[in-house]
C-alpha cells in the first residue's frame, strides 16, 4: 500500500526524466512513453481511490526527517484520480495537437512535471512538501504557457500568472512559519491534532493561530483560484497552447478549493475567516459572471466564466460546504476541460456547417422571436417560484433531514432556487407548439440535475468527511448570528423578487429594448467592458515599478 501511495506522484517524475533522456533517440515517438506513464499513473490513482472507497484506513509515508510526507486519505486519493485522469486526456490530446510545434519533447516533460507537482500537492502531508509543490506549479505553468518561445505575448501573460502565483505563495509560506513556530512541526496531521487539543492556541502578538493561519491559507487560495483583485491573469492566459488552457482551467485553478479543504481541521476552529471567504467568493462569482457576459472575445469570456465558477467554489467553502466545493471543482474541471479540448473541432466543423438546429430554442435565443401565444404571466410566475423550492427542499430532505439546520445549506438552496426559477421563467418567452410539454421537459431536467447534484454531493460529504460531527462543525464555523442570517436572507429575497416584479412590469408595459439606455447604465457598461480598469491599474503599476527601479539604477549607477 505504501508503494502505491508513493508511486502515484513518482510515476510522472520518472516519465519526465525518461522522456527528456530518450527524446534524442526516439524523436517525437517519445510522447507515447509520456502518455503510457500517465495512463499508469491514472491506473495507480484509480486503485488508490478504490482502496479508499473499500475502507482502507488513512496513513502517511515519510520520505525524510520531519517532511517529505505523502498522505493517503480520501481527499488525496480522489484528487489524484481527477488530476491523473485530466492529465492523461491532455497528454493524449497533445500527441497530435502539438505535433508541428517546436519543443515537442520539452512540452511533454513539462506536462509530466506539472502533473507530478499537482499530485504531490494533493498528497502532501507536511508543510514543506506542500510549499514545494505549490511553488513548482507556478513555475511549471509559466513555462507551459510560454511553450512557444517566439511569442513575447505568451510570455508576458505567463509572467502575470507567475507573479500572481508568487504573491499567493507568500501567505502560504507565512502560514507555514506561524504553524512551525507554534507547534514545532511541519506535519499537518500533528499540527491538526495539537490544534484540536488546544483550539485557542495563540501565536505572534497574542493572535489566535487558527484565525491567522486560516486567513493566510485563504489568501493563498484566492490567488491560485483567481478571486477578485487577483483574477486578472486568468482571462489573459489564452496565448498558451490549448492543452495547457484545458489543464489550467480544469485542474490548476482549482487548487484554492483543494487547499481550503486540506486545512478543514483548522477552519472548524475559526470564527470570522469563513465569512470573509464567503464574501470574496460571492463577489468573485458575481463579478466574474458579469464580466463574462460583457466580453466580445470568446476566450476571455471563457476565462471570466472560470473566474465566476471559482468564486462559487470558494463561496461554497465560505458557507461550510467543503465537500461540495470539491464536487464543484471536479464537475467544473471536467466540463471546462471538455470545452477547451473540443473547441478546435467545433470551430473546424462550424466552418462547413453551423450545426445549429432551427428549433424553438434557436428561434428564442438567437432570433429573439417571441411566441405568438403566451401563457398567463401570473400563473407562470407562481409555477416558477414554487416548483424549484419544492424540488430542492424535498430532494435535500430526502438525503439529510437535518440539512436545514445548516445556514450554508440554506444559502446554497437559495441559489438553487434562483437558478431554477430563472430557468423555468425563461420558458414563458419560448415559442413552442406545446408549451406544457416544454415546461414538463425542463422540469424533468431540473429534477434530474438537482437529484443528481444532491445525491453526489451527499456522497462526497460521506466519503471526504466521514464524521458527521466534523461536517457539522464546519457548517457551524461558517454560520453567523441567526437574526443577521434571517435578515440577510429576507433582504436578498426581497431584492430578487423586486427584480422579478420589474421583469413582470416590463412584460406588461412593453419591451425596454427600444428605449435609449440611461447615462447610468452606459457608465456601468463602460466600467465592465473595461474590466473595472483593473488591467490598466496593474499595467500602470508594473510600468511605474520598473521605471522606479530604472531611476534608482541611474541615481546609484556607481554600485
Partner 1 sequence: MKMSYLILLLIALFLPLFPLSIVFNAVYARLTHPLLRMALLLGWPLAGLYLYSVLQPQLPGWLVSWALATAVFYAFRLLAMREMGIWSGYFATSAWACLWLPLLYGDANTMLYVFWFGVPLLLLALLVSGLERRYGAAYTELYGGLAQTIPRFSGVFVVTVLALVATPVFPAFLGMLNILVASEPLVAITLAGMWAIWSWAGMRLIQGMIVGDPSSDVIEDLPLIYTWGFGVLMLLLIGAGFTLTGNF
What is the contact surface with partner 1 in residues (CB under 8 A)?
64-67, 102-103, 128, 131-132, 135-136, 139, 142, 146, 149-152, 155, 159, 162-163, 166-167, 169-170, 173-174, 177-178, 180-181, 186, 204-205, 545-550, 552-553, 556, 558-559
Smallest gap, in angstroms, from Cβ of residue 486 to partner 1? 39
**Of all helices (H) and strands (E), which one includes residue 71?**
strand 69-72
Smallest gap, in angstroms, from Cβ of residue 16 to partner 1? 13
Pick 14 or 389: Cβ nearer partner 1: 14
Pick 53 or 547: Cβ nearer partner 1: 547
Smallest gap, in angstroms, from Cβ of residue 131 to partner 1? 7
Task: List, in sequence order, every residue forming a beta bridge with 60; answer none if it has no partner.
Answer: 71
Pick 70 or 268: Cβ nearer partner 1: 70
Helix (H, G, I), strand (E, B) or coil at 339: helix
Pick 65 or 96: Cβ nearer partner 1: 65
Pick 93 or 160: Cβ nearer partner 1: 160
Q: Are the C-beta atoms of 103 and 164 separated by less than 8 Å?
A: no
Beta strands at 69-72 and 59-62: parallel, antiparallel or unpaired? antiparallel
Helix (H, G, I), strand (E, B) or coil at 19: helix
What distances in angstroms separate CA 547 from CA 179, 229, 491, 541, one per listed residue? 38, 23, 48, 10
What distances in angstroms separate CA 295 from CA 20, 160, 307, 329, one per listed residue? 41, 20, 13, 24
Pick 109 or 412: Cβ nearer partner 1: 109
Q: Are the C-beta atoms of 299 and 249 separated by less than 8 Å?
A: no
Q: Are the C-beta atoms of 21 and 10 separated by less than 8 Å?
A: no
Smallest gap, in angstroms, from Cβ of residue 224 to partner 1? 15
329, 211, 229: which is closest to 279 by C-alpha? 229
3-state helix, strand, coil in the chain (%, to 5): 80, 0, 20
Pick 49 or 273: Cβ nearer partner 1: 273
Smallest gap, in angstroms, from Cβ of residue 132 to partner 1? 4
Pick 90 or 116: Cβ nearer partner 1: 116
Smallest gap, in angstroms, from Cβ of residue 557 to partner 1? 10
151 — phi, psi (to 5°)?
A: -110, 100
Smallest gap, in angstroms, from Cβ of residue 166 to partner 1? 4
Smallest gap, in angstroms, from Cβ of residue 406 to partner 1? 35
Total H helices, total E strands in the chain: 22, 2
Q: Are the C-beta atoms of 380 and 428 separated by less than 8 Å?
A: yes
Smallest gap, in angstroms, from Cβ of residue 20 to partner 1? 10
List own/partner pairs for 267-271 with CB under 8 A and 24 or more apart.
267/210, 267/214, 267/322, 267/474, 267/477, 268/470, 268/473, 268/474, 268/476, 268/477, 269/195, 269/196, 269/199, 269/210, 269/477, 270/210, 270/211, 270/214, 270/477, 271/211, 271/477
Pick 244 or 287: Cβ nearer partner 1: 244
Pick 64 or 440: Cβ nearer partner 1: 64
> What string of DSSP letters covers 294-332?
H-SSHHHHHHHHHHHHHHHHHHHHHTT-HHHHHHHHHHH
Pick 145 or 380: Cβ nearer partner 1: 145
Smallest gap, in angstroms, from Cβ of residue 184 to partner 1? 10
Q: Are the C-beta atoms of 91 and 60 separated by less than 8 Å?
A: no
Smallest gap, in angstroms, from Cβ of residue 209 to partner 1? 13
Amino acid at each position: 500500500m505504501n508503494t502505491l501511495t508513493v508511486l502515484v506522484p513518482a510515476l510522472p517524475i520518472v516519465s519526465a526524466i525518461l522522456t527528456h533522456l530518450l527524446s534524442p533517440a526516439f524523436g517525437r515517438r517519445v510522447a507515447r512513453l509520456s502518455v503510457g506513464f500517465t495512463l499508469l499513473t491514472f491506473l495507480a490513482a484509480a486503485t488508490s481511490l478504490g482502496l479508499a472507497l473499500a475502507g482502507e484506513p488513512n496513513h502517511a509515508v515519510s520520505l525524510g526527517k520531519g517532511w517529505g510526507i505523502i498522505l493517503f486519505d480520501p481527499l488525496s486519493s480522489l484528487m489524484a484520480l481527477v488530476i491523473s485522469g485530466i492529465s492523461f486526456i491532455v497528454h493524449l490530446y497533445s500527441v497530435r495537437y502539438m505535433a508541428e510545434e517546436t519543443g515537442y519533447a520539452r512540452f511533454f516533460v513539462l506536462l509530466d512535471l506539472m502533473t507530478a507537482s499537482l499530485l504531490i500537492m494533493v498528497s502532501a502531508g507536511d508543510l514543506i512538501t506542500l510549499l514545494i509543490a505549490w511553488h513548482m506549479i507556478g513555475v511549471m505553468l509559466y513555462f507551459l504557457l510560454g511553450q512557444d518561445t517566439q511569442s513575447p505575448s505568451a510570455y508576458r501573460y505567463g509572467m502575470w500568472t507567475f507573479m500572481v502565483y508568487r504573491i499567493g505563495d507568500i501567505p502560504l509560506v507565512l502560514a507555514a512559519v506561524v504553524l512551525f513556530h507554534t507547534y514545532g512541526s511541519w506535519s499537518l496531521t500533528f499540527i491538526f491534532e495539537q490544534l484540536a487539543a488546544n483550539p485557542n492556541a495563540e501565536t505572534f502578538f497574542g493572535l489566535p493561530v487558527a484565525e491567522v493561519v486560516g486567513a493566510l491559507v485563504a489568501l493563498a487560495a484566492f490567488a491560485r483560484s483567481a478571486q477578485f483583485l487577483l483574477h486578472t491573469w486568468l482571462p489573459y492566459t489564452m496565448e498558451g497552447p490549448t492543452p495547457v488552457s484545458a489543464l489550467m482551467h480544469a485542474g490548476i485553478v482549482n487548487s484554492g478549493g483543494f487547499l481550503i479543504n486540506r486545512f478543514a481541521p483548522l477552519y472548524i476552529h475559526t470564527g470570522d475567516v469563513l465569512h470573509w471567504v464567503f464574501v470574496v467568493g460571492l463577489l468573485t462569482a458575481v463579478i466574474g459572471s458579469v464580466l463574462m457576459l460583457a466580453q466580445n472575445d470568446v476566450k476571455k469570456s471563457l476565462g471570466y466564466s472560470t473566474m465566476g465558477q471559482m468564486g462559487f467554489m470558494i463561496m461554497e467553502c465560505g458557507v461550510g460546504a467543503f465537500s461540495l466545493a470539491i464536487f464543484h471543482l471536479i464537475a467544473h474541471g471536467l466540463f471546462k476541460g471538455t470545452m477547451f479540448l473540443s473547441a478546435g473541432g467545433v470551430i473546424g466543423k462550424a466552418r462547413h456547417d453551423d450545426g445549429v438546429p432551427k428549433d424553438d430554442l434557436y428561434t428564442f435565443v438567437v432570433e429573439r422571436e417571441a411566441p405568438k401565444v403566451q401563457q398567463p404571466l401570473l400563473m407562470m410566475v407562481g409555477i416558477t417560484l414554487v416548483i424549484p423550492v419544492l424540488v430542492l427542499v424535498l430532494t435535500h430532505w430526502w438525503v439529510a433531514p437535518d440539512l436545514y439546520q445548516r445556514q450554508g445549506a440554506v444559502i446554497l438552496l437559495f441559489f438553487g432556487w434562483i437558478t431554477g426559477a430563472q430557468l423555468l421563467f425563461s420558458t414563458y418567452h419560448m415559442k413552442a407548439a406545446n408549451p406544457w410539454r416544454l415546461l414538463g421537459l425542463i422540469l424533468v431536467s431540473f429534477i434530474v440535475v438537482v437529484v443528481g447534484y444532491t445525491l453526489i454531493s451527499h456522497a462526497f460529504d460521506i466519503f471526504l468527511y466521514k464524521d458527521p460531527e466534523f461536517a457539522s462543525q464546519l457548517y457551524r464555523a461558517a454560520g453567523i448570528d441567526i437574526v443577521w442570517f434571517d435578515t440577510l436572507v429576507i433582504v436578498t429575497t426581497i431584492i430578487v423578487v423586486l427584480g422579478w416584479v420589474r421583469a413582470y412590469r416590463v412584460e406588461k408595459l412593453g419591451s425596454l429594448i427600444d428605449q435609449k439606455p440611461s447615462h447610468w447604465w452606459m457608465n456601468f457598461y463602460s466600467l465592465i467592458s473595461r474590466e473595472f480598469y483593473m488591467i490598466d491599474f496593474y499595467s500602470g503599476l508594473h510600468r511605474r515599478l520598473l521605471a522606479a527601479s530604472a531611476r534608482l539604477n541611474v541615481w546609484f549607477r556607481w554600485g
